[in-house]
Structure 1
């Protein structure tokens, strides 16, 4: 949803409109704009995905300055913002440290902490805000973590998650799983902040790593689905656990690893087979792209799961002759799964 487009304002009113947009969704700030011959320009869009508010912003150069005086005027339910820098070079000052943010960084700011943030020339960011009470992380933990996020092994996991979240927020906000997605995002943010704020041998950091292990494992598997050597031993090694621990962690989430991996691969194959763009791709090539080393094994698994062969599925889906019902889901609510048969 479009929240603000300064192109619809007279040039003399744009600074006030920009300032109002920021202070309407946050605590008061001082805003300093970079003087440009083209004048101030900005566009704000917003979405609601479960408990998360998503804001996308593109604008000319500016800096937001939040002081201790501003913080005293915070709203009743302050938030924590988690953002990606999608264009331009961003500058920040937080917890007494100055740093530069790029496209591979996550920026975290607590509304109850002074800070500076902005960019020069044209820039853009994608941010989510989480209610402080929902996040359940103290201000000092957020501030301490904000300047050392990359010290946590969870940084890249959350970065990939946020990028996926922003691929199509409009569809996500209307999805029946929006509430669960919002809660899972909050859990990942909480885990990252706790992990980054404390030393590895700290009890809280260990608990955060343990709590996020299932998400990290399933995210890793999805990234490597096309690898034919994606074995339980490899997955366990990558996450510094034994094979027995791997099965135990996933079992507590209701996931049977081998069956879940096959079901994820079959789901990827379904999308390829149903795509007119890939109509000329041989079934054997589809199998290989989805991590199956044997076309006959792929066909057998596919028929067991969907009741038709891959070729029949392609014909039915592309030509719209009939709809093939997907089998009943199994597994945890957070990790959708289809029975792949044996």
Structure 2
């Protein structure tokens, strides 16, 4: 995470100018109006680079952002922003449509067109920003989707994803997984907009994107003994039946996939020098195999040798 602005460290008379500079570096040109320009202007802006797309969070006192036709003519990357209002409520206007954006609601902003967005008092919004070229959808499809976001079956899923994205992004910064997270989020946003716009060309991708996100979630929780099909289905707002259907569509059994992933994790740990003195049963339990005999049978079936034999074969001597 990069902190673009923290007004608490600045003299009061410099805050409005610093806010404008930070906003212009993080997004597209627009006019910035502060609710109390000569009073208590305060803000913090955070920025995460996730490969080509990025995540931008702004929290602070009342503001109004106005992107006029003149700003559009100045030029900027052809981008859009899918934002979630995380504190307070805002008033958003674009394409002859006005709406109130409440806490916990999504807002789609076409950054290639004029818009007006404001909140009063203390508020916060975070936006996933992506180029149209990377999204792979037409401007017409995006604008059609903007009017119908809540109609998509993926609305709650994407809302939850964007809400927790800063915390996840912090843990992945500086790793190859950060770019993978950006690509996965792009796919999820594409599926949301396609389904909301009723663009049937992309409907088959919805299940694929959801399946990819489920695998990513499950791999992050492989060592959690509470991980179960019911929990995964609940976390992704789908039925247990649909979860099994997704795996079957990829010629997989959920249970067999989970066992295979956990065996792979145990196999890596058995060969790790840091774990050479840990009992095999302890490693097995860490990866969800509470019965050592069951673990040994599963391991032998998958790898043709016992866990102890694997450890002796792959551990490096001191």
TM-score (norm 2): 0.71
- Note the aligned Cα RMSD (angstroms): 4.1
What is the distance in 2 between the residues matched to 1:63 and 1:105? 18
Higher fraction of helix: 2
Range with bigger deviation, 110-119 or 12-21: 12-21
- Secondary structure of 1:40's partner? coil
Residue in 2 aligned with 1:29? 30
Q: CA deviation at 1:196?
A: 0.7
Q: In structure 2, do the counterparts of structure 1 residues 124 and 227 end up closer, same or farther at CA, with 3 Å as the change threshold?
A: same
2:207/2:246 contact within 8 Å kept: no
What is the distance in 1 between the residues matched to 2:253 and 2:228? 18
What is the distance in 1 between the residues matched to 2:293 and 2:130? 45
Range with bigger deviation, 187-196 or 31-40: 31-40
Q: In structure 2, do the counterparts of structure 1 residues 21 and 304 end up closer, same or farther at CA, with 3 Å as the change threshold?
A: farther
- Secondary structure of 1:192's partner? helix
1:84-113 Cα offsets, whole Å, 9 max, x none, are 222122221233222222343222212102
Q: CA deviation at 1:230?
A: 4.0
Residue in 1 aligned with 2:138? 138
Query: Is 1:54 aligned to 2:55, yes or no?
Result: yes
Q: In structure 2, do the counterparts of structure 1 residues 132 and 301 end up closer, same or farther at CA, with 3 Å as the change threshold?
A: farther
What is the distance in 2 between the residues matched to 1:261 and 1:250? 14
- Secondary structure of 1:129's partner? strand
1:84/1:107 contact within 8 Å kept: yes
1:95/1:144 contact within 8 Å kept: no
Q: CA deviation at 1:229?
A: 7.3
- Secondary structure of 2:80's partner? strand
- What runs of 5+ residues in structure 2 fail to find an aligned partner? 266-284, 301-309, 312-318
What is the distance in 1 between the residues matched to 2:299 and 2:43? 49
2:86/2:103 contact within 8 Å kept: yes
- Secondary structure of 2:176's partner? coil
What is the distance in 2 between the residues matched to 1:217 and 1:13? 46
Q: In structure 2, do the counterparts of structure 1 residues 246 and 46 end up closer, same or farther at CA, with 3 Å as the change threshold?
A: closer
1:113-160 Cα offsets, whole Å, 9 max, x none, are 221112111111222211221112222222221232111001122222
Give the count of matched residue pairs: 279
Query: Is 1:84 aligned to 2:84, yes or no?
Result: yes
1:194/1:208 contact within 8 Å kept: no
1:82-231 equivalence runs, <5 A: 82-198=82-198, 202-215=199-212, 218=215, 226=226, 230=230
Q: In structure 2, do the counterparts of structure 1 residues 248 and 31 end up closer, same or farther at CA, with 3 Å as the change threshold?
A: same
1:229-262 Cα offsets, whole Å, 9 max, x none, are 749x999x9388696x5444223xxx54212344
TM-score (norm 1): 0.67
What is the distance in 1 between the residues matched to 2:141 and 2:46? 29
Residue in 1 aligned with 2:68? 67
Q: In structure 2, do the counterparts of structure 1 residues 204 and 10 end up closer, same or farther at CA, with 3 Å as the change threshold?
A: same
